[in-house]
Chain A
Amino acid sequence: MSVDTVKQPNWFSRLAHPGQFLAWSRYLIWPLAIATGLSFAIGLWFAFFNSPEDYQMGDMVRVMYVHVPNAWLSQLVYGVMAVSALGTLVWRHPLADVANKAAAPLGAVFTALALYTGSLWGRPTWGTFWEWDGRMTSTLVLLLIYLGIIALWRAFDDQLKAGRIIAIVTLVGALNIPVIKFSVDWWNTLHQPASVFTASGPKMPGSILTPLLVMMLAFTLLFALLQVARMRTEILRRRAETLSRQAALQGAAK
């Protein structure tokens, strides 16, 4: 076979090779950490010192600056996991199940925080910490799906086999995402309709939208940072497990 006919891997395949990923992703950690820290500092300054009270909710509007970013990430992280699941099943991408496993605990924490801050926001504004309405119940279901996926990852020794099964579970669970998004339109709920991601644009003044967007950026950067760090750790963990198995087999053969 001549050299010209050898199929070269494309840029996507080269970036996705676990060894290559470890090499280039190390340069992302510190810039992401600094950008995350700066975004949180600016966002918190806006949230506490440079944004007005809401004319109806008063200072309770400040809970929105931590509630909405976590609610946004609870769905974004699941989106990342769903794309990873497709990567596992369709393209057999070497990093796809690593990304899925890395993201699941992060998504669970962001979802738990969305529920926690939402209930604290709900008590003074609606008069209750919890109501079994469409948005809250579907978000609770999302948390349970995250916990189920984490439990499945821990239940399998063979991580490649686990990856394929969990990819199917992840894609089935993705049906819940549009339910969360449109629950406030489909059913009568206590939860307010969408006010940031709407067809006609955000429905809030710039003085409240600015801190909200900065806090959403900060939490999204935090997710990116933790996701890259966890993917690196997972690749190295699998490397360590392979080496331990090889050493055990060599020891048994002697």
Chain B
Amino acid sequence: MIGDGAHIEFIAWAYVGVAVLTVALVAYVVWDSLRVDARLKALDKAGIRRRSDESKR
């Protein structure tokens, strides 16, 4: 088990930094995906869609 001895601040900063950047990366990937989905939905709403999608309707 982790102790509270020397250099604990280095360990804490390492894990906090990794957590922050990893969560930010996941958030960016999700945000980018939602943005592209919204753009495709807006195009679809405007009647702009692929021919293959139209044939499925």
Contact = CB atoms under 8 A, between A and B. Distances in A.
Interface of A: 19, 48-50, 53, 58-60, 62-63, 66-67, 70, 105-106, 109, 112-113, 116-117, 120-121, 123-124, 222, 226, 229-230, 232-233, 236-237, 239-240, 243-244, 246-247
Contacts of A112: 21
Given A62-B11, A121-B10, A236-B40, 16 more contacts: A48-B1, A58-B7, A59-B6, A59-B11, A60-B7, A60-B10, A62-B2, A66-B14, A109-B21, A120-B10, A120-B14, A230-B32, A236-B36, A237-B36, A239-B40, A247-B43
Interface of B: 1-3, 5-8, 10-11, 13-15, 17-18, 21-22, 25-26, 28-30, 32-33, 36-37, 39-40, 43, 46, 48-50, 52
Contacts of B1: 48-50
A53 B5 CA distance: 11
Most chain A CB within 10 A, of B2, B14, B22, B43, is at B14
Contacts of A229: 29-30, 33
Nearest to B12: A120
Contacts of B40: 236, 239-240, 243
Given A243-B49, A244-B43, A63 B33 contact: no
B11 A222 contact: no
14 contacts: A58-B7, A60-B11, A62-B11, A63-B14, A106-B25, A113-B22, A116-B14, A120-B10, A226-B29, A233-B29, A233-B33, A237-B36, A243-B48, A247-B48
B48 A59 contact: no
A53 B7 contact: no
